[in-house]
Structure 1
Amino acid sequence: MESGECVIEAAGLWRVHGRAGRSGRVGGADGSAGVEAVRGIGFTVRRGEVFALLGADGAGKTSTVELLAGLAPPTGGRVTVLGHDPYAQRRRVRSRIGVLLQEDGLPSGLTAGEAAVMWAGCTSGARPVDEALDLAGLGARRNVRLGRLSGDERRRLALSVALLGRPEVLVLDEPTAGLGPWARRAVVELVHRLRAEGTTVVLTARRLEEAEALAGRLAVMSGGRIVVEGTPSEVRAAYPSRIRFAMPPGWFVGDLPPLGALGVVGHRELPDGSGRVELLTPELQRTLTGLLIWARERAVELEGLDVRTASPEEAFPEPGEGDAAGVRCGTEAG
């Protein structure tokens, strides 16, 4: 396959947990019940790209990566990994992908080295165990039993196991969740190294800062749908930053400079009874500069000034009606 070619394609992808109707969706005419975890999403990932699915708990991220890993069939739509259906054609895909789930399933009675050796015995063309452990910074902990490893170390061991088969595609479900600062940096550096070597990585994250440290492109999920997709800067731009403060005594919002000229796209008085106001802006520096100049020129204080950068975590929109059902690289998917 040529560099830059799509290695993952999802179109109109649905996944329903529990009972599904004849149509494969919940709430149909047959009155069946179930939970729609993934609702008609579509995306593509090119070779050598790091792509992140970002969202709160319950957004559908894990359900999506399980479909990519071939651990379950989709209720509707289609997904291909390396040109194959990862569930129906799992034998063609399994040896070419590595998977890190939130639960590693490794027996606590084994040492780190024994667990890696056991897994290597089930992996075609496995890299040397010592090499896999070293990739995750665990070479010195080879003889330590899993029950005595820290949470950080056990998570990195699961990652080293996922790398045993020298995967072309690596699927990581929240690889930095719960890790301390050092371990988080180590995982970030490892993902960047793998990308430089040509590995395609799909990962999930709960916070934008985690995703943008790892991925060059990401999709925000909410309610089982993709609501925003693009580079980290494009995603940030889709969510206005927030400025909150109390107007000086005797002054009102109407006394501020024209808010549109400051880049403000929305404002309100906070409903907590504090009398503070909130400004929403996609141009934080421009808005804040104008606001502070106004306050300085009038010798007033903006009490309780609080500034927050754009945060998808605080502003996941409700699923909309216009979400794309899916695309193929360079074309729309029908």
Structure 2
Amino acid sequence: MKKTARIASVAAVIALGLSACGSRDDESSTADESSTPTASATTSAAAQQYPDFKACMVSDSGGFDDKSFNQTSKAGLDNAVSQYGMQEADVESTDPSQFADNINEMVSQGCNSITTVGFLLGDATEAAAKKNPDIDFSIVDFAYEKAPANLKGLTFNTGEPSYLAGYVAAAKSETGVVGTFGGLNIPTVTIFMTGFYEGVQKYNEDNGTDVQVIGWDPAKPKAGSFTNDFENKTIGQTTAEEMIKQGADVIFPVAGPAGLGGLQAAQDNDVKAIWVDTDGCVSAAEYCDVLLTSVMKGMDVAVQQAILDGAEGDFSNDVYVGTLANNGVGLAPFSDDVDAELQAKVEELKQQIIDGTIKVG
């Protein structure tokens, strides 16, 4: 199968789940995975088999059940293994101090492809790639100025769909205050928050309003709200509750499992929220009732494609960037709270971002 054909297949599949239009129906929390970004890169029953190829993964400290980026990335590995008859190995990290050792463990197990998940694994992944030039390495949420030939960055311009999410949040706010917080003050977190902030400003510009964003101002990054933790749900809940006390009635947590505490706070206080990385109505269905939408990254499809490229001998260190234009990022289906008029406006803004009329970030 030629690479151009595979990429077209990826775009066609992921577009189903990354559309910025279409309300979520009552069964969306249990939607068939084939209509979401967890769909696999190819649906061919005659997919080439690679039984001697071993695909492996190392998680960030959130683990593979984080209902967010580790879990979605792991789905890409699992899809590759099941569809192409590959061997598999993985290891979960519980602390950043384990990253290098966990990668080396995958090396020792004879992996042909190793995917690491998360910005914080950048240095350890690069070091391992340089020491093991015969292994293909991919890393989610990191890119290098000059990567080794066997190391590929899988990145996502989540600022674009976050801009759309910010516009929706501002439109749905009744108090005129929305809030966002992150796990750490790192680029892969703040890109969401900046896009969200700018989307709110666009709503104000269009409608002559003054919806305020608490928790983040790109002009004052040191004053942003961060839990400094991606695992502690209690910290996330406390952070969101403080924002709600300040009047926020839409919460946008960008903190992995800690962000689930933000959804809990929204649910407890009868306010709305927007999830990140994957469709929260699928990954965290217990909070679907408070979600307006989710900002999604097609990490699973990008991971699966990188693994398949390695098996087929097409692997390169060219950085992958998921955008609205290539359907690598987008919004999950909206809740019924987002009416058709607002959905149409979001679609208009999406097209303006794609054609360059609107610059995000």
TM-score, structure 1 as length reference: 0.30
Q: Which has the larger radius of gyration?
A: 1
- Greater strand proportion: 1
TM-score, structure 2 as length reference: 0.28
- Greater helix proportion: 2
